[in-house]
A and B are shown apart, each in its own frame.
Chain A
């Protein structure tokens, strides 16, 4: 069982997360997973926090964006012969206890990619501020139309991929549009996918760190331009 857990690589992209990263890494390390932190050109003490934990630390010399950080982490995990790669936010929004539920469909060989969703359980749904909830629902429609993959949640940073999926899903969108791009790659590669309920803790800090609501328009434009110009 221990070898299974250590072959699960948790990729944590971090940009100026000195306030929350220590707590997040401490919880993840206590679970026995292999943790890869990609410091995406932080200008605060994020890197010195990474160095305090038994995690693989990768440092981008300049800030490239969350999508680029995730791809760097995934590439490293594949090189380390990971069996499962999990994307996990550094701002403390996600719950480490839920990783075991997230990877279950992959361990049972029922899915290649598992997406976390805040809309499958009533209590998780109600946690989302109303404005964000409406926007996320609108984003699921935009994502569905652009990618052909209809999910209950959009831009949920928690997802798990098996090795085959991690190899096939190559993120080229450096910014936040990677969330939609992943859906596109999953559909193009014909990977099996499912959703599992995950809760998201909305703290003042995570709300401030998260993408502003209007950024959704930028994301939609990015996705659309890539579809046209690719």
Chain B
């Protein structure tokens, strides 16, 4: 029996009732729910995807709103975690969509568990390191993923079918060193560029999830919405690729120790503790009472001190706003949360 809700989509012959049925049974994981991620979640949620796991480590802020379509001013005022705010909107958009929201930093330690039960991984991240991690995990598990990246008015899209098409590391063998390319910090980003790149990602995702891999665009295409230059490069695999060829998966090797990472466009640093914690946020807020202004929601506690704003999640992660210096952020973390 066909669902009239999706009649227009199923009428599109290459998708058809069969593709729509497959989509409604399909499971996807979205890693990163920012600019690309919210567009991807909305497009696939509206299209009738069956299950979406949303993984994000951040909370909503006012300067996300020009690009991040599922969020509003109230989410920013409440400092809701992005995965929670996105899930609330998606459930109102499509109650048949099963959403699993995770407030989590995707790392070598948890990536396989987060994607092992899905048919497809969607790239909504904002950094190459997480993408190299996703690429290794997907090549290891044989899971397709759709890469997208966007800065300024420009971005690239690449659908990756393990063992069939080139993977991200066939083309980019080495993790680009920090500072090697423009970022949203240095070059800004335009909403329409994000929309175009995410739409191209969503189209590739629909093909894969609807069982139409034959229609998947092979290779990388790039679009600049300002200059209107559009490029495509081929999809030939590199037989010596460290990920899909030699299967070394070095990004899955767990690194010990806490990590501090500057966040794209945020004047902020993200801190991951060496081991996951279970913090009592109410207790933390009480300990901070004499130190500065504090606030709390069910997901995070906030402290304004030393000219910075610390937002600490219950798993021990923190986002420290007001500095881009990882060392200073780590110092503040040790001081106010404890090592």
A and B form one complex: no
- Residues of chain A touching chain B, judged by Cβ–Cβ distance below 8 Å, are none
- Residues of chain B touching chain A, judged by Cβ–Cβ distance below 8 Å, are none
